Structure 1
């Protein structure tokens, strides 16, 4: 090797090492998405397998909501859904999953446009929705005092209060997070039980003209000629992934409307099952809890999530804490779970933390125990993590205290690289590795010269 070649090698290797330390790519996500065997609708102990209604467009195009703002004169635009006329019935509310080019959505439609109906009122509160779920179709949504519909999108639940007049529909569609495993519980209130029934504070309390919803149906199968399943107007309904042989998961109704507490009820679990639960997102939106998959559970259980850190242990004063979630259950002893969570990339930068310096902690009595945590994915805005827990008392996302070994124990912390991660691309010693190779080349050159 001549001096020129050696110089080129030195430049290339040092540059490569520097890039390795600066670029910090994230390891590819090696997790396998859950396999959905289908969908079911459950109410009061009855379970029915259902199929999503499929179309070749988006749910917004399928619903085809029209009002004076969305469509010009000369087009039917009676503040209603025109794309689902073939699914509508007088004095009937329908509920179904829609599969389109924008993924899976949950659709709800009350009454029939141009039908023989005087109007109606209804309230839906849907608990256990994924954090990314949002209203993508809102019937009604327009500017004006005659628009009295109320829309809600809170941590752990989403909902609406509808009121409509004769020969019109109301309803909407929600979307987001439904392409993976989910369970959502719809708490209905029709007619006199609805929030806007005879509400004197709205523009026109008599807008519904005493119209009623007499039937509630879940639709399944062929989008042009679906099967219908009769539902009770009085009982909650859960729609979830899986089959009727899988454990049932349902969520309670928001008690105070602020979404600060959510209870999941599990029924019929077997130790071999993995039960996916949707927690609340936590105390800070910069770091959010995405899911908890429970294993080794036999029979029934309930788990309550709360965005309240008052009952949790005090966080260590020497680490940066990002978010916490209170968890309580007297029926998960002996079970374990996989917790997935996300951290905002800008927050990490502001706190001068690298992605691999974040860990999950589980509450154990009056102390926090750090558990092995893995970065699983990166988007442009956030990093995603996975960790295993065995305690169901509380969770905290925070800066790691010590680098953990593969068996979960803390290392001595006597490293010179400040706690380098085992993830490719996050090694602070990347440049040092390059220099080591350069040293080897120098030695080899010396030997060749001798």
Structure 2
């Protein structure tokens, strides 16, 4: 038995040396935004870690309790329901038992967190009573992992439906009753409420019922105990009394789930999901407005733009995430903070101004307002007007380059006279674009220039060439074409001379001369 604090139904504050609840948010392995699967199934998501500390409240007074266990044994092994002197009782909690006490504790087991009840004491010549607990707000998927008693024709009763559960116990001297409800590590709940009834206040008590339970004790694994009021409800939630607690579950690829409890009213909570792609983009932070909800869940699934929406993203996608939640009745906006590595811009010849954020709403991708921050080797982009639903994507705006207004000056020249070829390169897209503009004459590329054109702007390119043979020739820059007339006698064969280049006719003549010389040499030999 530990030290009891008698305070007439009030909780006494415990100074627990518990480790602060924290979550290690390791970055996900990189994966491409394109070709990434859609939403991960629930079975793929790991359950949240068991809580290091629980906040237990009764009558407005809160105490922090350290759970028993170390993840090594199940709660069934801890409770050790079995025979002693021919009677079924808890054999694993003998040192905690007293015939006139009912124990309440939390357990951190190999199969998750549990709330544990122990009534009476095995081996005591005194004792026996009845008790009932009603629990509400339970997580989905929870279960009665220990039922003391669970033999055929027992009088005890255990039920569980949805988020509620109930247990009714009858026991006699020289034995215990109790049980353990497992599933507290699961995220889908804010807090659980336990409504107790003991002795003749229990629903199934009779005038002949023994009434030996004098104390309902809350036990902490550090050896401290708190006496609870036997006729008032108790609430239990993971985390500390004064601070918000966050439990996170994620799988090894693309899913992130967080459950927040004791969240400050009319505030927002910020997460660090660290979801990344192999295209140099990452989701570093998400701020969720939750109004006055004191608990909620929020999930993110990395996906691709095609899987997330029915319409194509109007940009080259770098990273797309689909939110789930928050599950608060009056949830507010959700703000996203993406980052893109600086070297990514160099790799694809784009600039910071080409980055845009989108959210899928009402059947279309809508551009989001954002602010830009430069931070070391990355550039961060924070949304300003996203809402709580709809996939969100970061991408590079696409350019749309075209060549127009091709002109020759002059349009008629003499052989070997330079002609100036000028064209306009326009960018009708929303992203910066770089285009290699090629000058084609006689069916071949004879010159080229690299031109960078900002969105909505134009640039002018100019080439200068000379043709040595008279004739009419097609001159093309991109898809634009014009005719060039080289005046003089004889037909043109497409030869030109410019920038010191050897005319193709001379090259052909030289090759023929070499062939003739080779044939003559062979005959002479």
Pick 1 or 2: higher relative contact order, CA cutoff 8 A, min separation 6: 1
Alignment TM-score, normalising by the size of structure 2:
0.43
Greater share of residues in helix: 1
